[in-house]
Amino acid sequence: MLRKWLIPALALAVLTTVAPVWAAKSVSILPEVIPAAQHPKPTEEDGGFMHHKGKMTRKDFEAYRLEKLKEIAAYFGISTEGKSAEQLKKEVDAAKTANKDKWEAFKAEHKAKRLEHLRKVAEEHGIDTEGKTADQLREELYKLHGGKGKRPHRRED
């Protein structure tokens, strides 16, 4: 009966003596875990956090949004001098709700500008633009580029 328990007892003794050595080696091999709060913040040199498919940094996007807010504020006749983006956004939102017709006219103007831009790009690529909507032009440009999101370099005709 002693032989029956000898091998498992010997194996258990070997494992208990070797386990601390294996644990120490595995701890030294594993990378140090850094909590999310301690991750380094990206700096200007790093490019910052990227926004929208990696083309704009967060700072670039915020500047873009501020310019759009200023454009809307100018349309509604709101002064932008010395106001933060938050204050400007609140005033623009209030103006949008107060003057719904003017807001709809602003959106229509910008849709027309976008359509003209798409027509110009489509004509550069040899696409007929007569009587086509912005969605149709966008789809044709998309197909022209092989379904890729980027368009090739403009033709130098």
Q: Decide if 83 is inside a domain.
A: yes
Of 18-27, 105-114, 116-125, 130-139, the poorest mean pLDDT is in: 18-27
Looking at the structure of the chain, the number of domains it has is 2
Q: Decide if 38 is inside a domain.
A: no
Q: What is the pLDDT of residues 33-75, one digit of tens each?
A: 555 555 555 555 555 555 555 678 888 989 999 999 999 999 9
70 and 119 co-located in one domain: no
- Is residue 69 within 8 A of residue 84, CB to CB? The reply is no
The pTM (predicted TM-score) of the whole model is 0.54
Q: Decide if 144 is inside a domain.
A: yes
Please give the residue range of the domain that contains residue 94.
52-98
Tokens of 99: 């003057």
Question: Using alpha carbons only, how large is the chain's radius of gyration in Å?
Answer: 32
Contacts of 90 (CB under 8 A, 6+ apart): none
7 conformational bin, left if phi > 0, alpha if psi -120 to 50, beta if neither: alpha
Q: What is the pLDDT of residues 101-129, one digit of tens each?
A: 999 999 999 999 999 999 999 999 898 98
64 and 80 co-located in one domain: yes
How far is Cα 25 from Cα 79, in angstroms, rounded to an integer? 66
